[in-house]
Amino acid sequence: MKNKTGKSAVDSIDSLQTAMRRKNYIADRGLVTSIYLAIKLGRPLFLEGEAGVGKTEVAKVLKEVLDTDLIRLQCYEGLDISQAVYEWNYSRQMLHIRVQEARGEKVAEAELFGPEFLLRRPLLQAITYDGDKPPVLLIDEIDRSDEEFEAYLLELLSDYQITIPEIETIRAERPPVVIITSNRTREVHDALKRRCLYSWIDYPSFERELEIVQVKTPLASAELSRQVTTFVQEIRRADLFKIPGVAETLDWAAALVALDQQTLSKTVIEDTLGVILKYQDDVEKVMGKTIDAILDRMGIHE
């Protein structure tokens, strides 16, 4: 490999998995393999999954593991080049014209549209990054942007280059590690996916989620961690419109710790259900019978 990304962390799938675990990210083998290959092959990684399963977290952890910078672009509808890539610094350009005028000189157009008047937005920053290791570029929630922006990304993702008409085509010397996430609120165009490695992140198994809770909420008692995980795993099977993600499990565990709870009980669950369920319909649906049934299965009685 031409880039020296952290001497040992990405030597093998195993070492990457260990390194990520050291940074408190418990990933399954499939995900680690895709991250590893994305780095090795120099391809963007497209991560899809429901909200709160830790897609964005992957980029943050990679930043730590690779010991480099994270450049983040949050997508939204109407995101355009001036916000994502570059913008000309108009006030500086105007000032420059005035200054030159005062000196009695004329301003050439090429001078006005030079690199010093360029405001670098995240994508350009990632391409022209000059640290010693390639940065991690996170393009977050691409499904929120629109087709126009997706189309723009194609050039960037296949050749790691950006064309600024007034200047030239800028090519990355060291391609960034690109992580793209999507909640799948709409289908992203195939042309874009085709340039990426793909990984779907599922809700974790009980063992994995328990481990995540223990690692991320060390203050929670062993009993509480186990109960919280079991409960969330169970409630995911209920007929819910919005299934709670790992983020919700962690929030809940943290909330219960803050409330000084050692174990779960029916009252506590009902009082704090809003932490894991975000739709009133869902809350109503599980209140009462569903909760009782789950508690019964967990062997918790009032």
List residues binding other proteins (CB under 8 A).
Answer: 12-13, 29-30, 33-34, 36-38, 40-41, 43, 45-46, 48, 76-78, 80, 82, 88, 90, 93-94, 97-98, 101, 106-107, 109, 112, 146, 148, 184-187, 190, 193-194, 196-200, 241, 281
Q: Residue 161's beta-bridge partner residues?
A: 171
- Output the smallest distance, CB 224 to other proteins, in A: 31
Radius of gyration for the alpha carbons in the chain, expressed in angstroms and rounded = 24
C-beta of 47 vs 253, nearer to other proteins = 47
Q: Residue 49's beta-bridge partner residues?
A: 201
C-beta of 13 vs 170, nearer to other proteins = 13
C-beta of 22 vs 184, nearer to other proteins = 184
- Output the smallest distance, CB 104 to other proteins, in A: 12
- Output the smallest distance, CB 276 to other proteins, in A: 18
- Output the smallest distance, CB 222 to other proteins, in A: 30
Expressed in angstroms, the distance from the first to the final Cα of the chain is 60
| Torsions phi, psi for 188 (to 5 deg) | -85, 145
C-beta of 194 vs 297, nearer to other proteins = 194
- Output the smallest distance, CB 245 to other proteins, in A: 14
Degrees to nearest 5, angle at CA 70 with 69 and 75: 155
Provide the pairing of β-strand 118-120 with 86-88. Answer: antiparallel
Closest CA to 201 of 67, 70, 60, 45: 45
C-beta of 132 vs 239, nearer to other proteins = 239
Closest CA to 298 of 275, 271, 257, 265: 265
User: Which pair of tokens denotes residue 189?
Assistant: 């165009």
